[in-house]
A and B are shown apart, each in its own frame.
Chain A
Amino acid sequence: AQSVTQLDSHVSVSEGTPVLLRCNYSSSYSPSLFWYVQHPNKGLQLLLKYTSAATLVKGINGFEAEFKKSETSFHLTKPSAHMSDAAEYFCVVRGPGRRALTFGSGTRLQVQP
């Protein structure tokens, strides 16, 4: 079985400073990993995905994540936060041969002016 753990339920940064949202995964096999974002009253939007190609994955809106097998981590980063980045972020894993996504508990990102 696969699972993900998001290490912070809330992260607060100042506008223009770096963002780091942490995620550790557990999977018996090489997983597919995703980051989704949810803005208030909106659906879940895919930020980026890792599917065993390049370990550094670039996504939309300047976000990127690095797959580190030795650390079983898939942390999400952005060099400079923008006010519009304030949202809930979900780390998600999918096991091989499966369609079901397994979600982490989410990290709420606040961006202070």
Chain B
Amino acid sequence: EPEVTQTPSHQVTQMGQEVILRCVPISNHLYFYWYRQILGQKVEFLVSFYNNEISEKSEIFDDQFSVERPDGSNFTLKIRSTKLEDSAMYFCASSEAGATYEQYFGPGTRLTVT
């Protein structure tokens, strides 16, 4: 069964450093998403991406975040200058293009900013 994969599973970085989180969505999916979950809090939507552009984003997704599909298989989330409060589990998801298609989630990357 196809699945969304994410690398690395755990990333430790120092405050102010740039990080790139990587995801490989399911191959025939056209919509891609990032969510995050700060420890003890709810899963929060960050951004959705379709046809090489952002289709929807939350107020969390400010200028320090960016997303890219650098090739035909990867989808990345870049955080330019990490802050302590960026420490969280980051989930990638993908879905087919239809409005009712469910989102399939990866196992997450735990980002720890020290």
Contact = CB atoms under 8 A, between A and B. Distances in A.
A and B assemble together: yes
Given A90-B43, A100-B45, A100-B48, A43 B56 contact: no
Interface residues of B, number: 26
A72 to B, nearest CB: 19
Contacts, number: 50
B105 interface: yes
17 contacts: A36-B105, A41-B107, A42-B107, A43-B91, A43-B104, A43-B106, A43-B108, A44-B91, A46-B103, A46-B104, A49-B100, A97-B99, A100-B48, A101-B35, A101-B43, A103-B43, A106-B42
Interface of B: 3-4, 31, 33, 35, 41-45, 48, 55-56, 58, 91, 93, 95, 99-100, 102-108
